[in-house]
Structure 1
Amino acid sequence: MSWLDEVAWNADGLVPVIAQDVDDGRVLMMAWMNRQALESTLTTGEAVYWSRSRQRPWHKGESSGNVQRVRGIAMDCDGDTLLLQVQQVGGVACHTGRRSCFYRRLDDGQWRVVESVRKDPAAMYGGSNSER
């Protein structure tokens, strides 16, 4: 059995992946991978996800330059979720220009923005937020 066969892929052949900053443990983003993306991630040493909206592999940072250098890959006890420990190049993981995609917190029944924009998305993507 291949290590890829141990992953519990969903009906669409995907597995959820959480990207975590290797230095401080901050959760940066959640995305999906298929077998090809996971193999490419291992081969290149940089995060490659599966874009469900574009139906193609997505090398994180291909548009923005904010690549994720993979420092470790772990699988949960059920084999149905992966954790990537990454070094986030450029300090921005979110297409909104923030460090983390988890920049809103529930506070008294309202979602509040708790993290400021670090890089202008228009500067990263040439006017479109296409990387996701």
Structure 2
Amino acid sequence: AQIRHIKIELETMQRDVEANVNSITDLWRMKVDVNLVEEQQQEFSEFARGVDAHVSGLGQQFGSLVDEVKAHFQTAAHVVGTSTAQQMDEMRAKYKEDVNRVDVVLAEMKEFMATQQGLEASLHDSISKVVEEDHRAR
């Protein structure tokens, strides 16, 4: 909407400039008196001030538009950065929990293996004693 407004203003200014240039050219051709030329110069000066004001206003509009877009991008980058950091922290915490669970399971497995080895050794000793006793008994 601002760009369309700016285009319309520029077209209006262009028509006014062309009209003033044509008027000045006509004045030179007609060799009008000094009062008319001075009046035309006064109108042109007023027009030039108006153009300067329009150009200044357009500069401010575009400047503020650029600042707003920049601010939006900075906000978006901050939000994405914060969100990504939170996700990474959550993933680290979850990974740490998983590692702790694996450590617990590994400790339980080692304990189970040690218990089984003890039971196996005890069973082996018992079987050896039974076999020995059987051989003696014969």
Counting helix residues as a fraction of each chain, which structure ranks higher? 2
Counting strand residues as a fraction of each chain, which structure ranks higher? 1
Largest Rg, 1 or 2: 2
Short-chain TM bin: under 0.3
User: Please, what TM-score do these two structures have when normalized by structure 1?
Assistant: 0.19
User: Please, what TM-score do these two structures have when normalized by structure 2?
Assistant: 0.19
